[in-house]
């Protein structure tokens, strides 16, 4: 019997994949793409240019005297619920935001306590089932664009607090939900039942007895409420994350392209030799905390969707929780010997890099300051980048991020760098740094060859050691950018 069930599930999964390929190739409304899920996300939803995106203003907190409501508000911020359930210019949590997926556009719904359009009729048990299983109060499956696979790990206490916040902490908003019309066969929601059977984890978070309380708190947040894997873990043909915990595979949080941005590898692969490593190897715990709280460090700044995550979510989290996240992330991809290394070893590495950045005898810095711009990309850098990022590549007082010894610059996938140069980006506005700074896009000014040259120059200067960028890669990203509606 079990063998027949497995065969049935595999058959359904194959049907799901085959139908997706058919729709990809034949639906006129859908752009051509190389595969169903992972390649799809290489195309951005629309261009933002260098425009400044401000954080969404949270609604007034009702019943603020109730600790459970306040706790629920904190958890909703940690989960960035407002980011997906608020359309531009719309009421917070009232839905209406179009979410692009490989299978069509899904419109987020109203999650205010309105009894007609929102979730005002949900009981606590129904709310828990929605969050953990993706099933509504009328027993309809919602699409896994909502990361309920991650939320399945939430504790009963946290779900109780979230329910209190959404039912008592915000005002109901009358806003009819826009209908989601996916092409056949994805319009048949029973397919989601098969997806759940294949990919939905068992509910709850299992404490790792080998780790301390701080590590487990970080794992609980990263795997669950903060759903970091939704962006930072590559997906399979059915749109499911290839791994949902560090125990599953090396794919977990290994980096992925989503909506035209490369969501950075959050692991720390360290061979103990190379200084300019991938992922978070060169980050200290303190740098991660600073980044999540402010959106920038002396050597990098948040961009793209991560800028909104910092503005709407992580800046509001306690230092204790953000530190727990940093502790957990720094443990990924390391050997036992590296995990036991003291924090002072990491800090020494940071200090060493800082000294390198300040070293004016660096050949790249010396060459730029003397006007020697014969290297491909050097003149483009002087004319377009040095004004903010300086000839030393180290930026200016965290206002303009350093390009030297930067894990973002040295990322294996240059998609984000290309897009930033073409479209521009903005640093998040936070309580600690309320003035958002924007970098203008240079797509009107630089050719594909110019962009490739300057990025190759940056990725091989000031201690960076990353592969060159080709004009073809730039052309691909430029072509994927569409005008903002």
Q: Is a pLDDT exceeding 60 seen at residue 390?
A: yes
- The arithmetic mean of pLDDT across residues 80-102, rounded, is 90
User: Which pLDDT does position 361 carry in this prediction?
Assistant: 62
At residue 376, the 3 state secondary structure works out as coil
CB-CB contact of 321 with 78 (8 Å):
yes
Q: What angle do CA 474, 477, 482 make, to 5 degrees?
A: 135
One DSSP character per residue, 189-247 reads THHHHHHHHHHPPPSS----TTS-HHHHHHHHIIIIIT-THHHHS-B-TTS-BS-SSTT
Q: Does the pLDDT value for residue 159 go beyond 90?
A: yes
Are the beta carbons of 298 and 41 closer than 8 angstroms? Answer: no
Q: Is 255 helix (H, G, I), strand (E, B) or coil?
A: coil
C-alpha 80/C-alpha 96 separation (Å) is: 16
Total H helices, total E strands in the chain: 20, 8
Is-contact 151 220, C-beta < 8 A?
no
Q: Strand, helix or coil at 400?
A: strand
Is the pLDDT reported for residue 247 higher than 70?
yes
Q: For position 19, what pLDDT does the model report?
A: 44
176-183: average pLDDT: 84
Q: Is the pLDDT of residue 15 over 80?
A: no
Count of CB atoms situated within 10 Å of the CB of 361: 6
For residue 435, what is the enclosing H or E element?
Answer: none
Mean pLDDT is lowest, of 261-270, 316-325, 409-418, for 261-270
Report residue 215 CA to chain centroid gap.
Answer: 21
Task: Give the residue, 338 or 85, on which the prediction is more confident.
Answer: 85
User: Residue 200 — pLDDT band, cuts 50, 70, 90?
Assistant: confident
% of the chain at pLDDT higher than 70:
79
Residue 445: is its pLDDT beyond 60?
A: yes
Query: Could you tell me the pTM of the whole model?
Result: 0.81
Phi-psi region of 409 (alpha: psi -120 to 50; beta: other; left: phi over 0): alpha
Residue-range domains of the chain with CATH: 2-30+61-199 (no CATH), 228-480 (1.10.760.10)
Q: Above 90 in pLDDT, residue 75?
A: yes
The yes-or-no verdict on residue 26 having pLDDT over 60 is no
User: Where is average pLDDT lowest: 15-29, 122-136, 312-326?
Assistant: 15-29
């Amino acid at each position: 019997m079990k063998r027949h069930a497995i065969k049935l599930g595999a058959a359904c999964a194959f049907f799901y994949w085959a139908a997706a390929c058919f729709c990809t190739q034949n639906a006129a409304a859908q752009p051509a793409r190389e595969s169903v899920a992972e390649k799809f996300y290489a195309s951005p939803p629309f261009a933002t240019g260098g425009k400044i995106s401000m954080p969404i203003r949270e609604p007034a907190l009702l019943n603020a005297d109730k600790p459970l409501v306040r706790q629920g508000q904190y958890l909703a911020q940690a989960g960035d619920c407002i980011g997906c359930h608020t359309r531009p210019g719309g009421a917070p949590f009232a839905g209406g935001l179009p979410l692009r997926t490989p299978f069509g556009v899904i419109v987020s719904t109203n999650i205010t306590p309105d009894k007609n359009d929102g979730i005002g009729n949900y009981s606590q048990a129904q709310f828990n089932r929605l969050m953990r299983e993706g099933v509504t109060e009328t027993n309809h499956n919602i699409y896994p664009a909502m990361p309920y696979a991650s939320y399945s790990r939430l504790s009963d206490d946290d779900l109780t607090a979230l329910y209190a916040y959404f039912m008592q902490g915000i005002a109901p908003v009358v806003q009819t939900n826009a209908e989601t019309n996916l092409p056949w066969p994805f319009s048949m929601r029973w397919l989601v039942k098969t997806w759940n059977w294949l990919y939905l984890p068992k509910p709850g978070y299992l404490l790792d007895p080998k780790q301390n309380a701080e590590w487990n708190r970080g794992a609980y947040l990263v795997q669950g409420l903060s759903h970091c894997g939704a962006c930072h873990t590559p997906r399979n043909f059915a749109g499911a994350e290839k791994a949902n915990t560090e125990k599953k595979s090396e794919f977990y949080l290994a980096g992925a392209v989503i909506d035209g941005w490369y969501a950075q590898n959050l692991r720390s692969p360290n061979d103990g030799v190379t200084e300019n490593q991938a992922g978070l190897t060169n980050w200290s715990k303190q740098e991660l905390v600073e980044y999540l709280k402010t959106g920038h460090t002396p050597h990098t700044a948040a961009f793209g969707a991560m800028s909104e995550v910092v503005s709407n979510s992580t800046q509001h989290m306690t230092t204790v929780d953000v530190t727990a996240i940093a502790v957990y992330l720094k443990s990924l991809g390391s050997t036992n010997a590296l995990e036991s290394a003291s924090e002072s070893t990491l800090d020494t590495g940071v200090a060493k890099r800082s000294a390198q950045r300040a070293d004016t005898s660096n050949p790249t810095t010396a060459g730029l300051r003397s006007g020697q711009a014969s290297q491909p990309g050097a003149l483009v850098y002087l004319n377009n980048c040095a004004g903010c990022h300086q000839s030393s590549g180290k930026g200016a007082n965290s206002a303009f991020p350093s390009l030297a010894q930067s894990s973002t610059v040295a990322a294996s996938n240059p998609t984000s760098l290309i897009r930033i140069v073409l479209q521009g980006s903005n640093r998040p506005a936070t309580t600690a740094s309320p003035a958002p700074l924007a970098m203008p896009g240079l797509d009107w000014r630089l050719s594909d060859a110019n962009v490739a040259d300057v990025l190759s120059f940056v990725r091989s200067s000031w201690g960076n050691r990353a592969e060159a960028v080709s004009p073809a890669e730039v052309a691909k990203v430029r072509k994927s950018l569409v005008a903002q509606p």
